[in-house]
């Protein structure tokens, strides 16, 4: 809120002063000159984070213990800046920054959520042509599960998803092998204790205009394992599990097995969660 302007006492002119009164000049702060020497420079921790290796905070830690070299010289100085043409190695490996990339996949059945090449068909096969950036899936969907998976090289966003307090909610459509009892639905709402650990969901409800064996569950856990544990504990089997929303992101216009790049608006919406 702007401060109210208070008028000061008017200046009085001396009757002996024949000179015309001149108003006080307004002081204008000179515009800051851009330091041309900084053109193209980038902080070393940001350079490393932009390469997809780790977050800026983690990069600071690795820099401080001497794991990073620039042009063959070990750098431990915080705030060090690299310039175009500098050669940066992290743990002996060459790193190059890449633009932050966000890819949303509508996963079909039969694909493992992993970056390993020894697990048969994986979700990485489905997004192989999406980008040359080193993207990874956030969270995990079981091989038989379907629905949305977000891929990115933005470590700050990954941390947001994994945070216990700031985690991004996912909405799942779950179909069971039999009707879910009302008392079991209530128990899930209140939290299910399994082997001394309490499992909770953000929200659970029956699907409108569908059999009572179909429910919607919203969780902040980055995978679907907690859903499986809850229903197995209550002696239900999951016939179908589909992730239909991640935060504000939906499956609209993404056929099963296809992907899309997030729009600027969608990225901003995620960052604001």
Residue-wise pLDDT tens digits, 217-227? 999 877 788 99
Q: Pairing state of beta strands 81-82 and 197-199?
A: unpaired
Q: 261: helix, coil or strand?
A: strand
Residue 5 has pLDDT above 60, yes or no: no
CATH placement of domain 38-95: 3.10.290.10
Tell me the backbone φ, ψ of residue 82, rounded to 5 degrees: -105, 155
pLDDT digits (tens, 9 = 90+) for 161-203: 876 566 789 999 999 999 999 999 999 999 999 999 999 999 9
Contacts of 222 (CB under 8 A, 6+ apart): 138, 139, 140, 161, 162, 167, 170
pLDDT digits (tens, 9 = 90+) for 49-95: 888 788 889 999 999 999 999 999 999 999 999 998 899 999 988 88
The closest of 239, 227, 167 to 194, measured between CA atoms, is 227
Contacts of 198 (CB under 8 A, 6+ apart): 191, 192
Reported confidence tier of residue 269, pLDDT bands at 50, 70, 90: very high
Mean pLDDT throughout 229-256?
96
* Whether pTM exceeds 0.75: no
CB 111 within 8 A of CB 144: no
Contacts of 11 (CB under 8 A, 6+ apart): 21
Residue 147 has pLDDT above 90, yes or no: yes
- Supply the pLDDT for residue 197: 92
- Supply the pLDDT for residue 51: 82
**DSSP-assigned beta bridge partners for residue 156:** none
Instruction: Provide the residue ranges of all domains of the chain, joining segments of one domain with +.
Output: 38-95, 102-271
Q: 213: helix, coil or strand?
A: coil
Whole-angstrom distance, CA of residue 140 vs CA of residue 150: 10
| Helix or strand holding residue 246 (H, E) | strand 238-246
Reported confidence tier of residue 27, pLDDT bands at 50, 70, 90: very low
Higher pLDDT, 204 or 154: 204
Find the radius of gyration of the CA atoms of the chain. 28
- Supply the pLDDT for residue 39: 65
Between 155-162 and 56-64, two packed helices, what is the crossing angle to 10 degrees? 110
Contacts of 72 (CB under 8 A, 6+ apart): 87
- Supply the pLDDT for residue 209: 93
Residue 9 has pLDDT above 50, yes or no: no
Percent of the chain with pLDDT over 70: 84
Residue 139 has pLDDT above 90, yes or no: no
In CATH, 102-271 is 2.30.42.10: no
DSSP 8-state class, residue 11: P
Q: Do domains 38-95 and 102-271 have the same CATH topology?
A: no
Residue 14 has pLDDT above 90, yes or no: no
CB 207 within 8 A of CB 173: yes
């Amino acid at each position: 809120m702007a401060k109210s302007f208070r008028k000061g006492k008017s200046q009085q002119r001396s009757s002996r002063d024949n000179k015309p009164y001149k108003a006080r000049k307004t002081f204008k702060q000179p515009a800051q000159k851009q330091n041309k020497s900084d053109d193209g420079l980038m902080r070393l921790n940001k350079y490393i984070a932009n390469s997809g290796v780790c977050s800026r905070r983690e990069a600071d830690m690795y820099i401080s213990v001497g794991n990073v070299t620039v042009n063959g010289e070990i750098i431990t100085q915080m705030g060090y800046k690299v310039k175009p043409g500098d050669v940066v190695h992290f743990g002996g490996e060459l790193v190059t920054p890449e633009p932050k990339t966000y890819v949303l996949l509508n996963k079909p059945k039969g694909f493992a959520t992993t970056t390993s090449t020894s697990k048969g068909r994986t979700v990485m096969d489905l997004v192989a042509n999406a980008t040359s950036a080193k993207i990874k899936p956030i969270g995990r969907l079981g091989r038989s599960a379907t629905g949305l998976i977000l891929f990115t090289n933005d470590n700050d966003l990954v941390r947001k998803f994994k945070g216990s307090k700031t985690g991004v909610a996912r909405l799942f459509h779950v179909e069971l092998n039999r009707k879910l009892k009302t008392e079991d639905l209530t128990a899930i709402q209140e939290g299910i204790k399994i082997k001394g650990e309490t499992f909770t969901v953000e929200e659970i409800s029956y699907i409108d205009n569908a059999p009572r064996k179909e429910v919607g569950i919203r969780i902040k856990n980055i995978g679907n394992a907690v859903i499986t544990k809850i229903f197995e504990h209550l002696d239900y089997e999951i016939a179908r599990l589909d992730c239909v929303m991640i935060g504000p992101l939906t499956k609209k216009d993404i056929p099963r097995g296809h992907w899309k790049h997030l729009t600027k608006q969608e990225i901003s919406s995620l960052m604001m969660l």
